[in-house]
Amino acid sequence: MSINIRLEKPCDITTIHQVTAAAFLDAPHTDHTEQFIVDALRHSGALSVSIVAEDSSKIVGHVALSPVTISNGTTDWYGLGPISVNPTEQGRGIGSKLMHAALRELKNLNANGCVLLGDPKFYRQFGFEPLDGLVLADVPAEYFQAVLLQGARPAGAVTYHESFLAKG
């Protein structure tokens, strides 16, 4: 396996849409709009970082980072997601490679931290955990996780970019 991790290029956009749709096709707890969210983030200029994973020049995975708002006014926090790996390629460590690359990019941006919604067992290995006082409405605390990269620990309600409401 020779996975290359790199930033998105304009010629990748259609394939990223396809990989994201495929990755969430049979996933539980989704309304299958992840590919539209990535498109809307890109279109609105809120897609801060877009990273792809390639195997033999074929895109097999993708992760998006976009700014989030915290109600107490804390700045420079990002939301990670969606993160997608083509179903036929899952279990090969591609998601982990994308996570490590995303965290490196956040440090390059001098981000204070990052939040995500996902499986605690998977994301804990990257330093993500629920933070007391940092909440996402209508989401069980154990699934809404954060990693503090620098600065003070924030408290408040987190709001993702409006592109997360995209439906198609």
**Residue 93, domain CATH:** 3.40.630.30
Q: Cis omega before residue 82 (within 30°)?
A: yes
Q: pLDDT tens-digit profile of 123-163?
A: 999 999 999 999 999 999 999 999 999 999 999 999 999 99
Torsion angle, alpha carbons of 42, 138, 111, 10, to 10: -10
pLDDT of residue 31: 82
How far apart CA 154 and CA 163 sit, in angstroms, is 23
Q: What is the pLDDT of residues 34-61, one digit of tens each?
A: 999 999 999 999 999 999 999 999 999 9
The total of structural domains in the chain comes to 1
The mean of the pLDDT values for the chain is 95
Q: Which domain holds residue 93?
A: 3-165
Contact by Cβ (8 Å): 21, 59: no
CA 91 – CA 93 distance, rounded (Å): 6
Indicate whether 1 pLDDT > 70. Answer: no
Residue tagged 């010629």 (tokens): 11
- Reported confidence tier of residue 6, pLDDT bands at 50, 70, 90: very high
Rg (CA), the chain: 15
pTM of the model as a whole: 0.95
For 64-76, the pLDDT digits (tens) are 999 999 999 999 9
